[in-house]
Amino acid sequence: MKDGDEGYTVPWALSVSKEGDCYLRKNYTIQSEPGGTVKLRIKKTSNGYIAYINELEDEKWSREEIDMSKYVEVIGFGDDEVIEISKEEELEQALRDENYERASELRDEISSVKKDNPLSRFIKRFKG
Q: Residue 15, class by beta-carbon neighbours within 10 Å (0-12 exposed, 13-18 middle, 19+ buried)? A: buried
Average pLDDT over residues 8-27: 89
pLDDT value, residue 86: 62
In the predicted model, is pLDDT for residue 12 greater than 80? Answer: yes
pLDDT digits (tens, 9 = 90+) for 20-38: 788 899 999 999 999 999 9
Q: Residue 61, class by beta-carbon neighbours within 10 Å (0-12 exposed, 13-18 middle, 19+ buried)? A: middle
Sequence-ordered alpha helix ranges (H) in 2-123: 79-96, 100-114, 118-123
Question: CA distances (Å), 116 to each of 8, 92, 109, 122, in order?
Answer: 24, 22, 13, 11
pLDDT value, residue 121: 47
pLDDT value, residue 101: 87
Q: Are 30 and 9 in contact (CB under 8 A)?
A: yes
Q: Place 39 in a pLDDT band, splitting at 50, 70 and 90.
A: very high
pLDDT digits (tens, 9 = 90+) for 51-110: 988 788 788 888 889 898 999 888 777 765 555 556 677 778 888 888 888 888 877 776
Partner residues linked to 51 by β-bridges: 42
3-state secondary structure of 48: strand
Question: Hey, where are the domains in the chain?
Answer: 6-123
Q: Which amino acid is at 18?
A: K
